[in-house]
Structures are given as C-alpha cells and as structure tokens.
Amino acid sequence: MAEIIEMPKLSDTMSIGTVVQWLKKEGDAVSSGDMIAEIETDKATMEMEVFSDGVLLKQYAKAGDQVAVGDPICAIGQKGETLPETGGKSSAPANAEPENKEQPTPKDEPKPEAPAPKTETAAGNKTVPEAVTESKPAPAPASTDSGERIKASPLARILASEHGVDLSSLKDSGTGPGGRIIKKDVLDAAQTPAKPGRTPEAPAKPSASAPAQPAPKLADVDIPVSNMRAVIASRLLESKTQIPHFYLDTEVDMQALLAMRESVNASLSKLPSEQGGIKLSVNDFILKAAIEALRRVPAANASWMGSSIRRHGDINLAFAVAVEDGLVTPTIKQAHNKTLRQIAFEVRDLIAKAQSKKLKPDEMSGSTFTVTNLGMYGIHSFFGIINPPNAAILSVGATVRKPVVDAKGQIVPGDRMHIGLSCDHRVIDGAVGAQLMGAIREVIENPALMLV
C-alpha cells in the first residue's frame, strides 16, 4: 500500500509549514534522499527530503497551502496503487480560515472532505503589526457577486489590491495549478489597457495662481503574516513581558580598532579566498570582542532555568541578520575556540544562508549570547530585546567621527561608538552587567587582545 508522508517538524518551534513549491510533480519517480518540496517554516525556507522509493502518487497540499506538523502532505507508492485513507486530516490554504469564519459557505460550493486543522492565522494573531488587524480579512475579495469562490494565491490578492485589479475578471484565465490566479496573471492584467467606456470629462486647466494638487494617497494594504513573522511577534512579546530587562550604555574609542582593521585588510584582502584572503568588517571585530569579554565575565554567559541558573561552558554566539520577513539569529557554535578569521568566514557563510532561507535548524539554535548591530543603518544607539534563553543581548551602534578630549586635555578628532546591553535581571545583576561592558570596551580599545 502507498505510504502517507506527513509534514515534518523542521524547526524546534514549528507547528505549521507552508508549501512554497513542489520540486516533484504527481507521477514523478522519487528515491530516498530526494528533495520533493520547499517548505516555509517559522524560521526559514527549507527543502523537504523523502526516505522512500516509488512514485509521487498524490499531493495533498498545493503551493501556498499551510499544513500542520503531522498532517499528510503527499503519498508515495507504486504506480496504480490505491491511495490510503488520510485519517481525516487535510491541508489548509493560507488565509482560508478567516474567510470561512466570517462568511458562510455558498450552497453551490462542494463541502470539503475533512475539516481543516485549527491553526492561528495572520488575522487571528494578536501580536502582529498594526497593518494586520483582527477586524480585517485578507486583502482582496475571495468570491464573485454570485458567491463563487475565486482561487488566487495570497501574493496575487495583495497585488490585485495594490493595482486595482478585479480578481473576478480573471477567474477563468488563471495560469496557476488548477486555474489558480497567480502573480503573473495580476501583473499582466494591470498592464493591459482598460476597455474604453464613457470618456470622462477633461479636468479644467488650472490657472497660474491655482494651488498645487496634493500627492495621490497610497491605498491601505493588509499584508498576511508569514510563519516567521508570527513566531517573531510571539517570542518578542514573551521576552518583553516575562523577562525583567534592564539596560546599560557606554561609549568606546574605536581609533585603535579601525587602525588595526585597516592594517590587517591591507594584507588579507589581497589574498585569494583559498589562501585565507578576506576583508574583515567592524562587526567581525565586535563579535570577537564580545566573545573575549564573555571569557572574562562567564556569569553573563548564562540562562534562567526556573529553579536554577545555568552557566554555559561553551560560548555559542548568535547575531541578528535582517531578511525579507523579519530577522533570524544564526549561531556561531563554540565561538571561543575560533580565531577572528574563522569567525569572519563563518559569519559570511551564515549570512548567505540566512538571506537565501537555507539555514538549518541547528544553525539557528543553542545560542548563549546575542549581538545585534544597526550601525550600518546610521543608528547611534539602541537597546535590543533579549533573545531567550540568553540572559543578555549586545546592541551596537554606528562609529561616529566627533570632537573628543585626549589625554593631554586637548580637543581632537575622535572615532566613538555607543554600545548598549540589555540584561535579564533574574540572571545578571547591575554589577555583572557593568563588568561585561567594561570587558567589551577594554578589548575593543586594545584590539590586539583579540589575536592572542
């Protein structure tokens, strides 16, 4: 009998996965180890691997559908085999649940074979940004005047709303699977000139003294919340409401670090990558400085465990990376055992994976301390929200050139950077936080300490 393949749990916090695209079609032969689909989890887009040989007999979910972990996603067996019962489980298309809650199913619409799993959708998540509220359904109507449902992808609905395209006019011309309206259909319709109707009256030419017309107002757009954004909202709300934050801030002298970076890059940047050539960034030095400081203040490399405080033996350093749907925090494992050059290479590899949504679950878990840097955006100072189960997060601002007073009491040009530390007061007291900030400042201002 054919084998039912269920939605796997691809990350430690994943409860629902969205089918981005199928890499194998129904009827295609598959072998153990083949990647058959791309699945968007709460953290990244990952390829789904199968461990069976045979033929992909049935896809229970289409591209864009959301499937709960453990629910059937496809069936694999031998050609001509009878499909097994799915146990009443089924996939739920994105944005379908809010519409079904607010509108009764039309009589002429066939009833689904099984109820969709109860999952919290974008419109029902109370921790989403203001643009998505509980009182508003998905952007763009999902049915015609006669009540007939229109099959369209979530992206197609958003684009239809932005470009003023009536989805009902495209219901018979969708080029997606099963006649589904997709992005291309909406964009093609938006570029096609409208059919001539009644010619509107030409507006009167403004006189020389007429006031300038205001700029056209942009239309409101409700953007569905991705799995990643929903989890970010939930975890940050949990962090901010359950962890007692306190904040420390200090200014560091960047002159010595910038001079060392320039000297090192003058040599390393000329080498090919296979010989260890690389151009070190300021952020590479900051990450290394944080690692060296945590060696000196191990009490900050800890986590609140409820009935105990766990002081970690390894320094697993996470750093924030901005991606399309929000941010992720890839982790440098056992960072205390790695050189500045090794850290720089690993950071670039993890950033590339994060931006292409190819990070593996173990590359985003197990951190003991986090660094977030907004200096490249010109932000002078800020305080990040703690990334549980870490007890602290270091926030890095921009390096600013400004007048400073030197050791001789003279006003001279200087390079200064603000760094901020957000601490979990259950784990770190003010004195420990101050010791860590002092250690970070000392390593940054004496960057040779990073090389020993």
- Is 418 marked active-site? no
**Of the ranges 89-98, 191-200, 321-330, 440-449, which one carries the lowest mean pLDDT score?**
89-98
pLDDT of residue 100: 40
What's the confidence (pLDDT) of residue 101?
40
Query: How confident is the model at residue 433, as a pLDDT?
Result: 98
Name the more confident of 137 and 368: 368
pLDDT digits (tens, 9 = 90+) for 210-223: 667 777 888 888 88
Centroid of chain to Cα 40: 10
Distance of alpha carbon 160 from alpha carbon 256, whole angstroms: 54
Per-residue pLDDT, 87: 59
Take residue 147 and report the two structure tokens written for it: 């009540």
Check pLDDT > 60 for residue 94: no
Residue 260 neighbours by CB distance under 10 Å = 17
pLDDT at 250 over 90: yes
Q: How many residues does the chain have?
A: 452
- How does pLDDT run across 290-322, given as a tens digit for each residue? 999 999 999 999 999 999 999 999 999 999 999
Question: Is the entire prediction scored with pTM above 0.95?
Answer: no
More confident residue, 132 or 209: 209
Q: Which fold has domain 3-93?
A: OB fold (Dihydrolipoamide Acetyltransferase, E2P) (2.40.50)
What is the C-alpha to C-alpha distance for residues 343 and 151, in angstroms, rounded to an integer? 48
Residue 232 pLDDT greater than 50, yes or no? yes
Q: What is the pLDDT of residue 306?
A: 93
- Written as six digits, the tokens of 258 are 């910038």
Q: Give pLDDT tens digits for 381-394.
A: 999 999 999 999 99
The confidence band for 435, taking pLDDT boundaries of 50, 70 and 90, is: very high
With 70 as the cut, is the pLDDT of residue 56 above it?
yes
pLDDT confidence tier of residue 208, bands split at 50, 70 and 90? low
pLDDT of residue 145: 52
Q: Which of 53, 245, 253, 425 is catalytic?
A: 425
Whether the per-residue pLDDT at 372 is higher than 80: the answer is: yes
The DSSP bridge pattern shows strands 317-319 and 369-373 to be parallel
- Give the per-residue pLDDT at 348: 95
- Residue-wise pLDDT for 313-347, tens only, equals 999 999 999 988 788 999 999 999 999 999 999 99
pLDDT tops 80 at residue 146:
no
Tell me the pLDDT band of 148, cut-offs 50, 70 and 90: low
Q: Catalytic residue, from 349, 362, 406, 429: name it.
A: 429
- 3-class secondary structure, 228: helix
pLDDT in tens, 30-43: 998 888 998 888 77
Instruction: Considering only residues 149 and 226, tell me which one the structure prediction assigns the higher pLDDT.
Output: 226
pLDDT band (50, 70, 90) for residue 90: very low
- Work out the average pLDDT over 260-272: 90
Instruction: State the Cα–Cα distance between residues 118 and 97, nearest whole angstrom.
Output: 9
The residue with greater pLDDT, 127 or 165, is 165
- Average pLDDT of the chain is 82
269 and 278 in contact (C-beta within 8 Å)? yes
Q: In what order do the strands lie in the sheet with 16-22?
A: 45-49, 35-40, 16-22, 65-68, 92-93
For residue 147, what pLDDT is reported? 53
For 397-433, how does the pLDDT look when each residue is reduced to its tens digit (9 = 90+)? 999 999 999 889 999 999 999 999 999 999 999 999 9
The answer to whether 55 touches 30, Cβ cutoff 8 Å, is: yes
Domain boundaries, the chain: 3-93, 244-451
* Residue 429 designated active-site: yes
Note if the bond before 389 is cis, omega within 30 degrees.
yes
Q: Which helix (H) or strand (E) holds 444?
A: helix 430-445
Condensed to tens digits (0 to 9), the pLDDT of residues 102-135 reads 444 444 444 444 444 444 433 343 333 333 333 3
Residue 204, classed as helix, strand or coil, is coil
For the domain covering 244-451, report its CATH number: 3.30.559.10
Helices and strands, counts by H and E, the chain: 8, 19
Judge contact between 257 and 312, C-beta under 8 A.
no
Question: Is residue 138 pLDDT above 80, yes or no?
Answer: no
Q: What percent of the chain is modeled with pLDDT above 90?
A: 45
245: burial class by Cβ within 10 Å (0-12, 13-18, 19+)? middle
State the DSSP string of 304-367: E-SSSEEEPSS--EEE-EEETTEEE--EETTGGGS-HHHHHHHHHHHHHHHHTT---GGGSS--
